[in-house]
Structure 1
Amino acid sequence: MLFLASTSPRRHALLHAAGIEFTPCRPGDEVGGEGSPREKATARAESKASQAEAPPGSCVLGVDTVVELDGEEFGKPRDRVDARRMIERLAGREHRVHTAHHLVRGDATWTAVATSTVRFDPLTPDAIEFWLDLGSWEGKAGGYGIQDAETAFASLVDGDEDTVVGLSIAVLRELLRRAAEEGPCPPS
């Protein structure tokens, strides 16, 4: 059984849609991490998985998603002002979205990062205010969800949409395959 160290409803929905059985568990505390946005996401995914509240020896997946523009990391906006800053910076530009996956079973670990490229249409100040009023920016890296109907201004350029949503099913399947080579995940 896979334990998902995440409370994200979007990650839960992706796993359900893919037919992957899992049990959600409370993730470990996030660490700040050093280095590039991709490296920081990897450190946070590792921290979430290794410190999660799951039975010892379980297969635990930690995941972290960040948006990167010009080397700057855009996580979840703290508030509306932060969301406006992010959307204004992303408008009319391409950026990368990194989703780090860290699978732990006992002392064994497997890590992979998926990266996708997204393009935002140019946005007027009124369009940004309308977007902010919807509240769809809350709890999402970069302040948007590409899967949301109201985010028609964001289009996938390269990679897969699941990565942008917050969990690459293809990457997870590969990590589970690699882990299975060393034995199955124990039942919960």
Structure 2
Amino acid sequence: MKPLILASSSPRRKELLQQVHFDFSIQTSEVDEQLDPDWLPEDAVKHLSKKKAEAVFSTNREAVVLGADTIVVVDGVIVGKPSNHAAAKEMLQTLSGRNHQVLSGVTILSSENMISFYNETNVSMYELSPKEIDRYLATGEPFDKAGSYGIQGIGATLVHSIQGDYYSVMGLPLAQTTRALSAFSIYPTY
């Protein structure tokens, strides 16, 4: 069996793979995440996951490499990670009381095979008061997350409902990824 490498520094993706008992190592991929503004969100997120997987695979050709990326989309526009406090506040104000989509792209790559897919989950946010937004910003949680919130943390209190895969919103559609890894003879160790 080939070793599995997660091409991501995301602590959430690491926790999710550990949760279902995959044996893997981590190698961060340093890739340019600039996107063509004309791309559809699903193409963009798959492209980013593939770039990350390919970067790590280029120096680990005997492994199976898993690359992933997550984006938030509001009214068809990709919303990234906030660059500062003001940007995070603006993003949360935009999401307040509205629906948005979270797309997680996954690429699994080996010397024999490649599988690339994305998962889309609809998220509905509560109407957020300025005080709620300021209190959430004060936690520091929003600043390294697409859309300025983390559903697995304090940001869960902002989310009214989701339609789709909770784990995809966290950054890795776990059931779908587990099934895709089986095509590479990679299975959880439970």
Q: TM-score, normalised by structure 2?
A: 0.89
Q: 1:32·1:40 contact (CA, 8 Å) conserved in 2? A: no
CA distance in 1, matches of 2:161, 2:40: 22
Q: 1:27 aligns with which of 29, 38, 50?
A: 29
Does residue 1:39 correspond to 2:43, yes or no?
yes
Does residue 1:130 correspond to 2:148, yes or no?
no
How many residues in Structure 1 have an aligned counterpart in Structure 2? Answer: 182
- In the other structure, the counterpart of 1:51 is 55
Q: Which runs of at least 4 in structure 1 moved beyond 3 Å after TM superposition?
A: none
Q: 1:153 aligns with which of 139, 154, 158?
A: 158
Q: Tell me how far 1:28 sits from its aligned partner.
A: 4.1
Q: 1:87·1:128 contact (CA, 8 Å) conserved in 2? A: yes
- In the other structure, the counterpart of 1:164 is 169
Does residue 1:99 correspond to 2:95, yes or no?
no
Q: 2:5·2:26 contact (CA, 8 Å) conserved in 1? A: yes
CA distance in 2, matches of 1:26, 1:100: 16
Structure 2 runs not aligned, ≥5 long = none
CA distance in 2, matches of 1:157, 1:150: 13
Q: 2:83 aligns with which of 78, 86, 95?
A: 78
Q: TM-score, normalised by structure 1?
A: 0.90
Report Cα offsets for 1:41-94 as digits up to 9, x if no partner: 111100000011652231001000001110111121111111111111000001
Identity %, equivalent residues: 29
User: 1:18 is matched by which residue type in structure 2?
Assistant: V
- In the other structure, the counterpart of 2:5 is 3
User: 1:43 is matched by which residue type in structure 2?
Assistant: H
- Quote the RMSD (CA, aligned, Å): 1.7
CA distance in 2, matches of 1:177, 1:22: 14
Tell me: CA distance 1:61–1:18, structure 2 relative to 1, closer, same or farther (3 Å). same
Q: Tell me how far 1:139 sits from its aligned partner.
A: 1.1
Tell me: CA distance 1:104–1:150, structure 2 relative to 1, closer, same or farther (3 Å). closer
Q: 2:136·2:154 contact (CA, 8 Å) conserved in 1? A: no
CA distance in 2, matches of 1:172, 1:27: 19
Report Cα offsets for 1:85-107 as digits up to 9, x if no partner: 11110000011100000011025
Tell me: CA distance 1:156–1:58, structure 2 relative to 1, closer, same or farther (3 Å). farther
CA distance in 1, matches of 2:171, 2:82: 15
Q: 2:141·2:154 contact (CA, 8 Å) conserved in 1? A: no
